[in-house]
Structure 1
């Protein structure tokens, strides 16, 4: 049974009151259903509002985040199919973190999930239960919340996001028994929510999290003091991913790193004090050949 708009509004208001001190995110959500033949588009706007309220107002951690510390993130849900409360499409997620002594925010996550499918009844409330699978939509949103929290924490402390990645793993485990939805199981391919989380926690891919820490805290956060030295430091950290590439060429985490960082790396090495980056360009071409057009734009 669908809830009334009035009751739904009251629920959201009450939820916001209790959660006002608990926010970790500044999430913007967009539901794009322009290619779906649906006379009444209101359900898509309701879904968009519900998702954004859930992401921003849920208490995800026991930590206190000031306004300056909140994680800026976005989620675009492109709906490709809608029928009788069943949605299919893709998520495009991105997140960034501030850089010390700068007004610049650095992208830390830019990821597309093509296996999005869930049921949503208009005005149904959203609640996260860490011990129980509630719905695929709640699991999807919660999984990416903890993945982003983990990646963000990893940029401030070496493996600082461990507990968050483990919570994401718990969501994966609870969701694996769900029938008819892809992305949660080991058998769901090389690009999946299972694979992203499993690789994140695996020692096989340890360089990803090590480089995320060093690149941001030891590189970008000190860049303002000496940009030329900063370029050299960042170059050395990027090159550490060669060890991962030698062991697991073109891994999901390696692609995840450069999907977030390619534009930033191009910008850093295309302006400011010059250094010798011929070896870096060779490394970048080997590590992320799909970004070759950006590497070509870097002038040695």
Structure 2
């Protein structure tokens, strides 16, 4: 009996100490010429452990509540300990009453350049800038946490976005352009600046209502949930009219375009469908081929 109770306590402790992310990290080094590929496997393992084993928040997270996400890093060039590449960051969250995972984030960063020596330790200090690689990975961890939290509570990701903003502020010491305000350039500075901008609050309201009052309702009332989703997509037109080419619009549809098309592959019909089609064609023209699939 004592052994049984000890096991229960042990498992309970593991549950309380569970980290927030379940992240698949992959590094593609096919474009790098050379026979010594072990450094990439070491780096892949180190980032995986850093992201998945570090406690990023003060929340008690159960294992099944961890956020499923992925970081796909493509290395395009290596010169000794200097690396150039890109990173694709994706995350999903479960939909209430279903086995479906809805995409929340799908963003590509083409300026994922860093220095790294094999077996370098990954330690993040929020008050200093130590490594561009650590700062970049940490930044996207907090963006993942913030975007996820925004879908469960209205602007629920504020504290995590503030942490991402702090990463940017500290990293500006490096002088690297991806961390600074560059006019007409979409970079990490612009991403977090737009997310936290007061005039972009409508975007974060859409993220909440689309998921919590839309997708989470579908299993109980498909017509109601679908209409809520539709109404919130239409609402994005207001943001588009504030800033032409608004990056938050692209952030939304890079994750959601395929999902929206799939949602409209079957009934029930909704009253604002044609208006929604006009809106998405206007504010997300790069997805025009997908919108044509909606009958």
Q: Normalising TM by the smaller chain, what interval?
A: over 0.9
Matched, 1:99 2:91: no
Structure 2-normalised TM-score? 0.92
Matched, 1:124 2:120: yes
Partner residue in 1 for 2:72: 76
Encode CA deviations 1:189-242: one digit per residue, 9 max, x unaligned. Answer: 431000000000001211111100010001111111111222111110111111
Give, in whole Å, the separation in 2 of the partners of 1:19 and 1:196.
33
Matched, 1:171 2:167: yes
Give, in whole Å, the separation in 1 of the partners of 2:177 and 2:18.
31
Give, in whole Å, the separation in 2 of the partners of 1:60 and 1:160.
16
1:35·1:79 contact (CA, 8 Å) conserved in 2? Answer: yes
Partner residue in 2 for 1:196: 191
**Cα separation, partners in 2 of 1:83 and 1:19, compared to 1, 3 Å:** farther
1:190·1:252 contact (CA, 8 Å) conserved in 2? Answer: no
Give the CA deviation at 1:265: 0.5
Give, in whole Å, the separation in 1 of the partners of 2:18 and 2:218.
32
3-state SS of 1:129 partner = coil
Partner residue in 2 for 1:230: 225
Partner residue in 2 for 1:263: 258
Give, in whole Å, the separation in 2 of the partners of 1:189 and 1:63.
37
Give, in whole Å, the separation in 1 of the partners of 2:67 and 2:120.
26
Matched, 1:136 2:132: yes
Give, in whole Å, the separation in 1 of the partners of 2:282 and 2:44.
39
3-state SS of 1:257 partner = helix
1:19·1:57 contact (CA, 8 Å) conserved in 2? Answer: no
Deviates more, 1:157-166 or 1:124-133: 124-133
Give, in whole Å, the separation in 2 of the partners of 1:114 and 1:138.
16
3-state SS of 1:101 partner = coil
Aligned length: 282
2:30 aligned to which of 16, 19, 34: 34
Give the CA deviation at 1:182: 3.0
Q: In structure 2, list runs of 5 or more residues that go unmatched.
A: 1-13
Give, in whole Å, the separation in 1 of the partners of 2:185 and 2:154.
26
Partner residue in 2 for 1:110: 106
1:20·1:57 contact (CA, 8 Å) conserved in 2? Answer: no
Partner residue in 2 for 1:207: 202
Superposed CA RMSD in Å reads: 1.7
Partner residue in 1 for 2:3: none
**Cα separation, partners in 2 of 1:106 and 1:45, compared to 1, 3 Å:** same
